[in-house]
Structure 1
Amino acid sequence: MQTVFDRRVDAALVSRALASAAFGSMWLDIPRPAYPTLPGGLNCDLLVVGGGYAGLWSALHAKERNPGARVVLIEAERVGWAASGRNGGFVEASITHGAENGKSRWPTEFDRLERLGLANLDGMQADIESHGMNVDWERTGMLTVATEPHQVEWLAEGADEGEGRFLDQATVRDEVASPTYRAGLWAPDTCAIVHPARLVFELARACAEAGVQIFEHTAAVSVQRERRGIRVQTRAGVVEADQIVLATNVFPSLLKRNRLHTIPVYDYVLATEPLTAEQLDSIGWRSRQGIGDSGNQFHYYRLSADNRIVWGGYDAVYHYGRRVDPMYEERPETYRRLAAHFFITFPQLEDVRFSHRWAGAIDTNTRFCAHWGLAGRGRIAYVNGFTGLGVGAARFAADVCLDLLDGHPTERTELEMVNRKPLPFPPEPAASIGIQATRWSLDRADHNQGKRNLILRTLDRLGLGFDS
């Protein structure tokens, strides 16, 4: 069976639309702060390794909990250069990668996870306001759309279970005019959109103003527990800390025990030039919702503050050996596929051109959402595995890390989600064989009315999976 996205699109149209697209994240085309390299050795109370969302929220909230603490953050490259500066800017309340994933894995505590996730989203908005962060924050809600007949039933079931309001075909097309839409599920309160790079840069500013020392181009090489604390060797000197938060996400963990728990999956994105008033009027989208479609291979898209459409997803590409390498980011066949799918979704925008194309690696684990742990006799906390939904969840994850280091039970640290780790991915070549078989199976399910084959059903029973 064919899906709507198998329709033929004029190759010349795709080529014209991509011809002037600059390679690199649109979000990072703004002035960014610069921080010094670590000048030598130093001592601190808390060292945070990683200058993305999880690391910066950890540092900021650590200073708010204990203003007198000496908090240092080190980043191997530049603050926000990786996933935090390249994502779609969806801030979702879900900390479980969606309701279906949360209900299947933690059915007895799912309601609590939903409540904590919504509180985290509200808290994030409050933090942004209290620190005066200029991040283009819009509490827009999320619209999930069905583009195939079998997906309509999925959305109706989601509405029945309280995940949002079901929209029939006429209603959803009145919201956003796409001939591919068959139905929608509208959740007005559980998602915001944000300028992701502004968010990370403003978080860094808030950290610095609170007294956090930030050092860029300071790669951590090794970590070693000593009698009185933790010793981290960097390329610029040694940092001795009482406690550490490791927030390196997709990059190989300093703790060898964690290196099989995540894999890097490459995600690809396009951004259009700003839409004119006439172009925007042709598709409606007056409520500016975040949008995602319902396939196993799905697209996510939203409007920027200057009315560009940021359009990503579908391809989720794993490369043998778990490598994170810039060479994987330039993938012409994927950008062409994404462009074709854009014009299938919005044929009325055939005169629109793309201004940017980019990619980045997502830290994926077998349960599709973050996992935590302690090491170094309780002095090292770590978090990994956001699987593409870390913009909001990273703030919750940071608070969990700090709770774990404090050593006093909280509602967060008592969660089964926090205390149970996902199954690791196998080593190569088994990892690559399994992941590619799973990707093929997900594509087959999308082409077979969503029906899952034996491979997917077996993975479901084992609690394993692969997703973007």
Structure 2
Amino acid sequence: MHRPGGAVSDASPDAYRQVSFWLDDLAASGIDDLRPRAPLTASARFDVCLIGGGLTALWTAYSLAKADPDLRIAVLERDIAGFGASGRNGGWCSALFPRSASSLEREHGYDAAIAMRRAMIDTVGEVGRVTELEGIECDFAQGGTLVFARSDAQRVLARAEVDEGRRFGVDRLEYWDERTIGSRFGVPGSGDHGTSAMFDPSCARVHPGKLVRGLARVVESLGVAVFERTEVIDWSAGRVRFRALHGGSEGTVSARHVIVATEGYGARLPRVRRRILPLYSLMIATEPLPEATWDEIGLEHGQTFSDYRHLLVYGQRTADNRFAFGGRGARYHWGSAVDPAFERVEEVFGHLHETLREFFPAMGDARVTHRWGGPLGVARDWHPTASYNPKTGVGLAGGYVGDGLSTTNLAGRTLADLVLGRDTELTRLPWANHRSPLWEPEPLRFVGANLGILGMRLADAEERYTGRPSLTARMLAPLTGH
């Protein structure tokens, strides 16, 4: 079905259904048959050319089309809109940003850190507002996120996060003690010495497949040309070289503005290669669970969840009462390779299933129906960017480290202001025009990235053994944006 490192060779809807539960659900429910749009087959001229058909490109196209309906805008996507991280993620529309507020303060100052936090919180509401306005039915429900603290070491981290939120005065984080969690959620060890949690109201549950595919239809209705099965070969100021995957015809798009929005998949392009590191995150989805089981578990619709382990896990209750649950742990591959074979690691899938049952034993023997994965993008300093050079007309956004479902909306609005030459609150945010250092060449990149993953595993083991916050994690924190 797949060509290693490349596009889906069989462009049938059945092939795209296998990308993730989210895309499979779209086809199964009859909402979207996933049939690719027509490719671009001849050279053309546009005002704006967006490389990539994910949420970054689509939110940018939406913002530009709304601001100036006369702009001629093209989106070039190698497979179908939402094929990448935008159609594979955990469905958290959150205020999370890869760099902590304290880290942003150290680099950019106190006021800039507050502005970034406020922008991220506002973005959650903005996604909800626009999806309702445009009729994008994406199961948006803002129920907040719970980060469970299931050990003494994790409780220290939870209280520290709440304290940091209070210091900056923007996030409205709450600490829910053991009695509160024990009375509301069916998690192991609840009670006076059991599980507590940090609650963040600035998070919504969404169906990412419905969001990205719905947004693609909306931008088309605004006059944006969306070309699928169109592979970008290279670009330079004012020019984008492409190849239609059906028929193999090549051509050039001439455009005043070229925006690169490829996230982890950009590592395959020579001009991006060392700017982004593709790190795989994998997910599972269960069969729908009965309402009685959810009553015992305690998770409400709209709530997402995680805990304070260092090797990240994340989950949600879907609108059709499944668990969608994912996590890190798959290794980085030599040369920033991106390959469909890396999307399935049975050891990681097994670990995710076991971890989910540890979270919520009431799920019992619920069957896992879907397993999938894909690469997310990591900048060398874990600092996302929305950048645009007015001299060359070339822009770039990404490096979301898995926090991109909402951040892409902010990126789209920021890029639109930058392209249009506006001086706004968004263009003055600390991530606007931020330039991260390049990743090291191989073999240093391979060794460093995989040692980092190993270090997170060791940090979790250290905390289980000592009961105290990990010294290993503290040493790695500056390398991971904390």
The question of a shared fold, defined as TM-score above 0.5 by the shorter chain, is answered with: yes
Structure-2 change in CA distance of 1:255 and 1:338 (3 Å):
closer
Matches within 5 A, 1:168-183: 168-179=177-188, 182-183=195-196
Distance (whole Å) between structure 1 residues aligned to residue 98 and residue 329 of structure 2: 21
Q: Which residue, out of 450, 455, 465, partners 1:441?
A: 455
Do structure 1's residue 26 and structure 2's residue 26 form an aligned pair?
no
Which residue is equivalent to 2:466? none
**1:267 and 1:317 in contact (8 A); partners too:** no
Cα distance, 1:152 vs. partner? 0.6
> How many residues matched?
437
Match of 1:223 in 2: 235
2:61 is matched with which residue? 59
* Residue among 120, 124, 127 paired with 2:127: 124
Query: C-alpha separation between the residues in 2 aligned to 1:418 and 1:122?
Result: 21
TM-score (norm 2): 0.85
Alignment of 1:82-161 (within 5 A): 82-99=84-101, 101-103=103-105, 105-108=107-110, 109-161=112-164
**2:269 pairs with 1:250:** no
Aligned-partner residue type, residue 215 of structure 2: L
Tell me which residue corresponds to 2:428: 414
Structure 2: gaps of 5 or more residues: 1-16, 245-250, 464-468
Match in the other structure for 2:441: 427
Cα RMSD (Å): 2.2
1:412 and 1:404 map into 2 onto residues whose CA distance is: 9
Identity within the alignment, %: 28
Structure 1 equivalent of residue 3 of structure 2: none
Which residue of structure 2 lines up, in the alignment, with residue 328 of structure 1?
A: 342
Q: Residue type matched to 1:174 in 2?
A: S
Instruction: Go from structure 1 to structure 2 and tell me whether the alpha carbon gap of 1:200 and 1:287 turns closer, same or farther (over 3 Å shift).
Output: closer
Instruction: Tell me the CA shift for residue 169 of structure 1.
Output: 1.2
* Structure 1 contact 366–466 (Cα < 8 Å) conserved: no
Q: 2: CA distance between counterparts of 1:78 and 1:194?
A: 20
Deviation, 1:370, is 1.5
CA spacing shift, 1:301–1:255, aligned 2, 3 Å? closer
What is aligned with 1:3?
A: none
1:252 is paired with a residue whose SS is helix
Matched, 1:465 2:477: no
How much has 1:405 moved relative to structure 2? Answer: 1.9
CA displacement, residues 248-292 of structure 1 (integer Å, 9 cap, x when unaligned) = 111236975542121111111111100012222221223641111
Compared CA separation, residues 150 and 104, structure 1 to 2 (3 A): farther
Q: Relative to structure 2, which stretch is displaced further, 436-445 or 146-155?
A: 436-445
Give the match for residue 232 of structure 1.
Answer: 240
- Counterpart mapping for 1:380-395 below 5 A: 380-395=394-409
Paired residue for 1:68? 70
| TM-score, normalised with respect to structure 1 | 0.88
Matches within 5 A, 1:330-345: 330-345=344-359
CA separation of 1:425/1:254 partners in 2, compared to 1, >3 Å: closer, same or farther? closer
User: For each residue in 1:110-145, what CA deviation from the matched residue of structure 2 results, as whole angstroms up to 9, or x when unmatched?
Assistant: 111111112222222111111111111101111111
SS in 2 for 1:318: coil
SS of 1:417's equivalent in the other structure is coil
Decide which of 357, 361, 364 is 2:371's aligned counterpart: 357
Amino acid at match of 1:276: P
Does residue 40 of structure 1 match 2:42? Answer: yes
State the match for 2:207 in structure 1. 195
Q: Distance in 2 between matches of 1:271 and 1:63?
A: 36
